[in-house]
Amino acid sequence: GENVEQHPSTLSVQEGDSAVIKCTYSDSASNYFPWYKQELGKRPQLIIDIRSNVGEKKDQRIAVTLNKTAKHFSLHITETQPEDSAVYFCAASTHPGGKLIFGQGTELSVKP
Amino acid sequence: DAMVIQNPRYQVTQFGKPVTLSCSQTLNHNVMYWYQQKSSQAPKLLFHYYDKDFNNEADTPDNFQSRRPNTSFCFLDIRSPGLGDAAMYLCATRGQGGNQPQHFGDGTRLSIL
């Protein structure tokens, strides 16, 4: 079945540095890739998503890149701030409303 | 304002005692999902409704059932909770159309005594 691998499981950066989280997926039919941020005890919040018809999408300090040939996509956070500290989940789906297959999560810690 | 509302936020029940978790939405979305999330793990889909059509995941235990009496409300029933069912339960919704993302509620944290 569909599988999404996410790395690293933990990531610690200094405030102001960039953070990169990578995911690979197995189902070549996947065409929708959201990223969720989950703070401790809170709900997952959609922070950015990308569809397979584009290779990159940016929203202020957050960007996502997609390589369909290699079946991987990445989250890039620039100028990290302490409030970026959270668990980040990638996911893949064959369409935006379809079943989400989540990666294992990355715990990001931004140190002041 | 919260658009996907889960009640209660914290629920404690006894081993084997049935418990019901509720989810309501003000978005008029036709798809509703229930996820189970254990500590340090990704959300795991239990089942979802597409309108009134119920879709169960193959590995969802029979102990878990769901009801959707109308568009706005969806319930998760755990018939005989075991210690392994202690988790955060997340409800999510999605609107109609091919480009609608899922929106999560704040979850109900279930503890089993």
Q: Enter the DSSP assignment of B102.
A: P
Note the pLDDT of residue B1: 56
Q: How far is A74 from chain B (nearest CA, A)?
A: 17
HEC string of chain A? Answer: CCCEEEECCEEEEECCCCEEEEEEECCCCCCEEEEEEECCCCCCEEEEEEECCCCEEEECCEEEEEECCCCEEEEEECCCCHHHCEEEEEEEECCCCCCCEECCCEEEEEEC
Name the average pLDDT for chain A.
93
The tens-digit pLDDT sequence of chain B (113 residues) is 569 999 899 999 999 999 999 999 998 899 999 999 998 899 999 999 999 999 999 899 999 999 999 999 999 999 999 999 999 999 999 887 666 788 999 999 999 99
Interface test with A, best of B9, B47, B102, B111 (most A CBs within 10 A): B102
